[in-house]
């Protein structure tokens, strides 16, 4: 194999410009299933507007849809998803703050009562941060790139967890993902509206972590800082294969 062959990008088939057939079939399934069952609810939500009680800050990862994990219907969850489910600190300036804008709308306009930062196992965003720490020349995580800048929000959690770390990279990524959820909760509390409403008992913040591998859900105990399993007995019963 020559150097040219080694460096040549994999040949890809041009994509169709048609609207994806998979989405059309999915939409038709939705019409025959969920929409059919919830038509009245959609109509009522259209007339009255949305009034979700919970905001979820989740990851873009295609495996961790909050509506699926929490079996939520239309109008129940106000969801913002970004790379690695990060909440930035309060920073009112001229940058484009998509997550902060969604947070402001959820808290001030919709008056949600709960905000859940939902992390997950095998998060590519958290892993990219860790790999980039090992090799700062990796692309596309240079400081000028969007992902590289965005996932620097993980840095405070990394600095808290890296000392004395001797586990393999996979285990460290999972531990850092937990710590990063706590950091995002701390960042949320830098928003004056969040801090004030939480102090008045009108808003509650939560950390949660979904294991893609086995469907386990963990929630953060704010008193101990430890994540613990939710509905463990129901989860065991739902597994199709016995655990060992
Ligand atoms: Zn992720």
- pLDDT tens-digit map of 116-152: 999 999 999 999 999 888 876 766 566 568 888 899 9
* CA of 63 relative to ligand 1 center, distance in Å: 9
DSSP, res 153: G
Classify residue 243: in a domain, yes or no. Answer: no
pLDDT tens for each residue of 12-48? 899 999 999 999 999 999 999 999 999 999 999 999 9
pLDDT tens for each residue of 147-178? 888 999 999 999 999 887 788 999 999 999 99
Classify residue 244: in a domain, yes or no. Answer: no
pLDDT at 11: 83
Confidence of residue 4 (pLDDT cuts 50, 70, 90): very low
pLDDT at 145: 81
Our measurement of the distance from residue 50's CA atom to the centroid of its chain's CA atoms, rounded to an integer in Å, reads 22
Confidence of residue 1 (pLDDT cuts 50, 70, 90): very low
Domain CATH code at residue 169: 3.40.1050.10
Judgement on whether residues 148 and 34 belong to the same structural domain of the protein: no
What is the extent of the structural domain holding 71?
A: 52-238
What is d(CA 40, CA 45) in angstroms, rounded to the nearest whole number?
9
Classify residue 5: in a domain, yes or no. Answer: no
Provide the percentage of residues in the chain whose pLDDT is more than 70: 91
Provide the percentage of residues in the chain whose pLDDT is more than 90: 81
Classify residue 3: in a domain, yes or no. Answer: no
Classify residue 221: in a domain, yes or no. Answer: yes
Nearest to 209 by CA among 189, 242, 186, 184: 184
* CA of 163 relative to ligand 1 center, distance in Å: 23
Judgement on whether residues 184 and 137 belong to the same structural domain of the protein: yes
Judgement on whether residues 76 and 128 belong to the same structural domain of the protein: yes
Q: Could you tell me how many residues make up the chain? A: 244
Judgement on whether residues 231 and 178 belong to the same structural domain of the protein: yes
* CA of 52 relative to ligand 1 center, distance in Å: 24
Across residues 196-206, what is the average pLDDT? Answer: 98
Task: Provide the token pair at 197.
Answer: 């409403």
Classify residue 2: in a domain, yes or no. Answer: no
Number of domains in the chain: 2
* CA of 123 relative to ligand 1 center, distance in Å: 4
Judgement on whether residues 146 and 38 belong to the same structural domain of the protein: no
Judgement on whether residues 152 and 89 belong to the same structural domain of the protein: yes
SS3 state at 161:
helix
Judgement on whether residues 231 and 158 belong to the same structural domain of the protein: yes
Judgement on whether residues 37 and 104 belong to the same structural domain of the protein: no
Classify residue 155: in a domain, yes or no. Answer: yes
Classify residue 56: in a domain, yes or no. Answer: yes
Active site residues: 59, 61, 63, 120, 123
Judgement on whether residues 21 and 136 belong to the same structural domain of the protein: no
SS3 state at 115:
strand
Confidence of residue 2 (pLDDT cuts 50, 70, 90): very low
């Amino acid at each position: 194999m020559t150097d040219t062959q080694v460096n040549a990008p994999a040949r890809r088939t041009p994509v169709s410009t048609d609207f994806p057939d998979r989405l059309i079939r999915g939409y038709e399934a939705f019409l025959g299933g969920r929409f059919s069952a919830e038509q009245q609810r959609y109509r009522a939500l259209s007339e009255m507007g949305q009034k979700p009680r919970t905001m979820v800050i989740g990851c873009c990862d295609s495996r961790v849809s909050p509506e699926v994990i929490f079996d939520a219907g239309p109008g129940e969850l106000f969801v913002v998803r970004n790379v690695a489910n990060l909440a930035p600190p309060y920073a009112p300036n001229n940058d484009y703050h998509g997550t902060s804008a969604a947070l402001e709308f959820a808290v001030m306009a919709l008056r949600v009562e709960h905000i859940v930062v939902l992390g997950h196992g095998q998060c590519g965003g958290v892993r990219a941060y860790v790999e980039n720490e090992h090799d700062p020349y990796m692309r596309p995580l240079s400081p000028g790139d969007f992902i590289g800048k965005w996932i620097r929000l993980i840095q405070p959690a990394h600095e808290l967890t890296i000392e004395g770390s001797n586990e393999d990279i996979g285990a460290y990524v999972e531990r850092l993902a937990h710590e990063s959820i706590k950091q995002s909760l701390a960042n949320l509390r830098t928003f004056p509206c969040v801090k004030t409403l939480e102090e008045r008992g009108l808003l509650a913040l939560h950390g949660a972590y979904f294991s893609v591998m086995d469907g386990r859900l963990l929630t953060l105990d704010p008193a101990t800082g430890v994540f613990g399993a939710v509905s463990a007995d129901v989860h065991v019963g739902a597994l199709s294969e016995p655990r060992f």
